[in-house]
């Protein structure tokens, strides 16, 4: 029963906290306004502050786990220091719109924090740090790119955390299992409000934080010594990695900066075929479930 406590705590705490976060956002103007932005698909201003709930609930529960000796100081430090940095970076990006350079510097710093705390890719020392940074920067931006339709990024990352939870249970990785369970629970609580029609978005503050925690888990499971231990975690993150890689290639091919947004992602192409938002999101969830399952199977076999 203890194994599922954090999942239930994540669902309940997020579901109860988000209505208060929405009121806070409306009062202080923390809203995603679609005016003058052709990349926005919503018509009205919507709070984009769910990441506040993610981060503070996560922080509280991690501190409790540390206090009762369920998580090490290195893991707690990596998650709270690195996660806090990217969360703050996301808040800044939501409110002021960061330049790509400042965004990249902040994300690289979060990767360095992760490595300093002892969570790094298992490989030759000279490659360990840059690869860990690459995973952090890549995961953060990949999740952020998927945050383009109601419920899309939330559902996709929930499935990824479920996949890492399964791997954690299979390998007896207690810390990774607790983190995965907590994050999956919080995302389920969030989806009550974020599935189309959404009343709140996760914002950059949420997508950056989710990407960082996914990178933390991927790094813990990745090894370059065996192909399954390299490929499996990438597939567990799933669609975001594949879509981000294609987006970068597509933009460079057109002579554009890879940091320039567009509406040509996989989910955009489904929408252009006449599918509704719900149909598109459900198809993406189904594909993500298959890719995550494939990643888990490859890793374990």
Please tell me the distance from the alpha carbon of residue 91 to that of residue 89, in angstroms, as a whole number: 6
H/E run at residue 46: strand 46-47
Domain total of the chain: 1
Amino acid 50: pLDDT: 95
Tokens representing 103? 């965004």
Query: Which range marks the domain in which residue 70 is found?
Result: 2-222
Tokens representing 90? 């996301």
Tokens representing 275? 């599918």
Rg (CA), the chain: 18
Residues of the chain with pLDDT under 70: 1-3, 35-43, 261-262
Instruction: Write the CA distances from 161 to 155, 212, 275, 293, integer angstroms.
Output: 10, 12, 27, 12
- Asked if residue 33 belongs to a domain, the reply is yes
Cα Dmax for the chain: 54
Owner of token pair 């409110």? 95
Q: Kindly give, in sequence order, each residue whose CB lies less than 8 Å from that of residue 109, ignoring residues fewer than 6 positions away.
A: 85
Amino acid 267: pLDDT: 87
- Asked if residue 17 belongs to a domain, the reply is yes
CB neighbours of residue 166 within 10 Å: 18
Q: Answer yes or no: are the C-beta atoms of 281 and 149 closer than 8 Å.
A: yes
Amino acid 268: pLDDT: 83
- Asked if residue 11 belongs to a domain, the reply is yes
Amino acid 193: pLDDT: 97
Amino acid 248: pLDDT: 85
Amino acid 85: pLDDT: 98
Amino acid 255: pLDDT: 74
- In terms of Cα–Cα distance, which of 107, 135, 116 is closest to 223? 135
Amino acid 35: pLDDT: 65
Please tell me the distance from the alpha carbon of residue 247 to that of residue 253, in angstroms, as a whole number: 10
Amino acid 76: pLDDT: 97
- Asked if residue 116 belongs to a domain, the reply is yes
H/E run at residue 147: none
- Asked if residue 163 belongs to a domain, the reply is yes
Quick: pLDDT tens for 274-290: 999 999 999 999 999 99
- Asked if residue 173 belongs to a domain, the reply is yes
- In terms of Cα–Cα distance, which of 87, 74, 50, 80 is closest to 62? 80
- Asked if residue 118 belongs to a domain, the reply is yes
Compute CA 225 distance to the chain's CA centroid, rounded to the nearest angstrom: 26
Instruction: Write the CA distances from 44 to 32, 33, 40, 281, integer angstroms.
Output: 8, 7, 10, 20
- Asked if residue 87 belongs to a domain, the reply is yes
């Amino acid at each position: 029963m203890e194994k599922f406590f954090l999942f239930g705590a994540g669902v309940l705490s997020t579901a109860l906290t988000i209505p208060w976060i929405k009121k806070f956002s409306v009062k202080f103007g923390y809203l995603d306004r679609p005016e003058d932005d052709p990349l926005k698909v919503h018509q009205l201003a919507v709070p984009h502050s769910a990441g506040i709930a993610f981060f503070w609930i996560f922080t509280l529960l991690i501190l409790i786990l540390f206090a009762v000796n369920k998580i090490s100081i290195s893991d707690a430090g990596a998650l709270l220091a690195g996660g806090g940095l990217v969360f703050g970076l996301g808040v800044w990006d939501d409110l002021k719109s960061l330049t790509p350079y400042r965004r990249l510097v902040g994300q690289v710093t979060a990767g360095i924090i992760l490595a300093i705390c002892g969570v790094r890719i298992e490989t030759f020392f000279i490659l360990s740090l840059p690869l860990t940074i690459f995973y952090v920067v890549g995961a953060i931006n990949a999740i952020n790119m998927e945050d383009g339709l109601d419920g899309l990024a939330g559902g996709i990352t929930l499935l990824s955390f479920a996949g890492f939870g399964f791997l954690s249970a299979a390998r007896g990785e207690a810390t990774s299992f607790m983190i995965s369970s907590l994050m999956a629970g919080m995302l389920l609580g969030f989806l009550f409000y974020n599935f189309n029609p959404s009343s709140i978005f996760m914002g950059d503050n949420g997508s950056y934080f989710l990407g960082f925690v996914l990178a933390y888990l991927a790094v813990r499971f990745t090894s370059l010594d065996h192909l399954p231990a390299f490929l499996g975690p990438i597939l567990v993150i799933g669609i975001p990695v594949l879509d981000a890689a294609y987006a970068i290639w597509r933009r460079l091919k057109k002579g554009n900066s890879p940091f320039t947004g567009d509406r040509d992602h996989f989910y955009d192409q489904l929408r252009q075929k006449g599918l509704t938002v719900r149909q598109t999101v459900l198809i993406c969830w189904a594909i993500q479930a298959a890719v995550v399952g494939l990643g888990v199977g490859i890793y374990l076999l």
